[in-house]
Amino acid sequence: MTQPSKSLRFLCPNGHLGFAPLKTGSFYRGLEAHPDFIVADSGSNDIGPIPLGSDTSTSPEEWQYHDLEQMLLAARKLGVPMIIGSAGDTGTNSRVDMFVRMIQEIAHKHRLPRFKVGYFYSEVSKDYLREKMRSGERIMGLDGRPDLSLAELEATDRIVAVAGVHPYIRLLDMGAEVIIGGRSSDSVIFAAPAIRAGFPEGLAYYLGKVLECASFNAEPFMGKESVVGEISLEDVRVTAMHPEQRCTVASVAGHAMYERSNPFYEHVLGGTLDMSHCCYEQWDDRTTRVTGPVFRPSPEWRVKLEGAGKVGERYVGIVGIRDPYTIAHIDQVIGWAREQVRERFGDEGYELHYQLYGKNGVMGELEPSRHTPHELGVVVYGVAPTAEMAREVCMIGSRQMFYARLPEVKGTAGGVAFALDEVLPASPAYRWTLNHTVRIDDPLELFPTALTEAGV
């Protein structure tokens, strides 16, 4: 490997591209720092299983287009690579294709000279895993889940594998000037160029870990502002671009460590990032310097899998309660409503959920020692195989709260201040079916890469 350059500088404008549009002021300031790469992650499983299972985005296409346009125009003007990970919130094949299309549309709109666009897919077929399981391979569960069963696999609608650095390095080697990645670790989109350039893996992965949420690593809190990270052979330095933000020892260390025990990293990076010997120092007013992270490879390569399956159609209702006696007996009220649904539909074949807001100011259980809240909000979810059944489950579960038969209530039904007469259709309900790992022999095995072009 050739000797790496003195340092590489990375501009990250958004911790989840498109989830809310990036702030252009700090982004333009970041461009003045002359970054070598402009990089942003675009996905997360924090958004829940619905986008993955339904193969949709949780963010409007207009917001995603906005961020891609800002980043692409800047990257082509500076002549530096642009890298996006976990395209379109989930990194499914359709979301990668959507982002590649947007890049081509933006390039055509602005008459940009032709450039190479690299991309890779992350979806995994059920046939691939089924064959592995039938041959005796364990698909091991994470976070206390059991090994994957064939029944749970069949209940899954869509699966993605979480890529490490390898497809990004492959595409950079192929000459890609813009990379659109499938589902990947947040940190590898930063680590890959640094590792490819010869910088230590520990510093490279730390760089990605501390940059992937952009301005969340700075104080005071400001979302969607840009930060710049610089890696050398000895350290990582992180600088806030918003003039009123600072990357402090506390803010950088706090952000870097909030997931440090997560086994996710071992099964995506092919090892663990040891930050126990990190040293933090305030380099200047807005910059923190970090030394000491070490990467420890694992003896075998396992890839994390995420999968989601549809539970059913869903409706939502809203109930507001102000009567103190009804609030104090809310468990009996909900129990009554549940029983009316049970009389209509039996015990199985649907789901009925209640979320309470206002118990002691937050969602939770009423404590007898606490003052009864003035008002309680109840959100009711009905889930069933058909929209018609889900609507009726939700409607009974909402309206029957009005008719709950409580002791000591003599006559008037004034407890429920408001019950939404027409429950509202919501997105279908999905659940996580896979949070597992699979052993692979080649880290590129599940991540096919390709090149295309954009521009005029």
Residue 368's pLDDT is 46
How does DSSP assign 381-408, residue by residue? EEEESSHHHHHHHHHHHHHGGGG---TT
How does DSSP assign 162-178, residue by residue? -B-SHHHHHHHHTT-SE
| Cα–Cα distance measured from residue 39 to residue 42, given in angstroms and rounded to the nearest whole number | 10
Residue 414's pLDDT is 52
| Cα–Cα distance measured from residue 72 to residue 108, given in angstroms and rounded to the nearest whole number | 12
Residue 190's pLDDT is 96
| Cα–Cα distance measured from residue 246 to residue 285, given in angstroms and rounded to the nearest whole number | 7
Residue 370's pLDDT is 54
| Cα–Cα distance measured from residue 141 to residue 148, given in angstroms and rounded to the nearest whole number | 7
Residue 214's pLDDT is 83
3-state secondary structure 328-369: HCHHHHHHHHHHHHHHHHCCCCCEEEEEEECECCECCCCCCC
Instruction: Specify whether the CB–CB gap between 232 and 148 falls below 8 A.
Output: no
Residue 178's pLDDT is 98
The beta strand positions in 105-193, using DSSP E, are 115-120, 140-141, 158-161, 178-180
Q: Among 302, 298, 16, which Cα is nearest to 163's?
A: 302
Residue 82's pLDDT is 98
- Per CATH, domain 310-433 is 3.40.1010.20: no
| Cα–Cα distance measured from residue 400 to residue 345, given in angstroms and rounded to the nearest whole number | 14
Both tokens of 322, joined, read 């102000």
Can you give the length of the chain in residues? 456
Both tokens of 213, joined, read 């949420």
Instruction: Specify whether the CB–CB gap between 396 and 344 falls below 8 A.
Output: yes
Cα distance from N-terminal residue to C-terminal residue, the chain: 35
Q: What is the pLDDT along the chain (456 residues), one digit of tens a residue?
A: 456 669 999 999 998 998 889 999 999 999 999 999 999 999 888 899 999 999 999 989 999 999 999 999 999 999 999 999 999 999 999 999 999 999 999 999 999 999 999 999 999 999 999 999 999 999 999 988 999 999 999 999 999 999 999 999 999 999 999 999 999 999 999 999 999 999 999 999 999 999 988 888 988 998 889 999 999 999 999 999 999 999 999 999 888 877 554 444 445 567 788 888 899 999 999 999 999 888 888 878 889 999 999 999 999 999 988 888 888 889 999 999 999 999 999 999 999 999 998 855 444 444 444 556 778 899 999 999 999 999 999 999 999 998 888 877 665 555 555 555 679 999 999 999 999 999 998 999 999 999 999 999
From-to residues of CATH 3.30.70.360 in the chain: 310-433
Q: Among 12, 19, 40, which Cα is nearest to 227's?
A: 12
Residue 291's pLDDT is 93
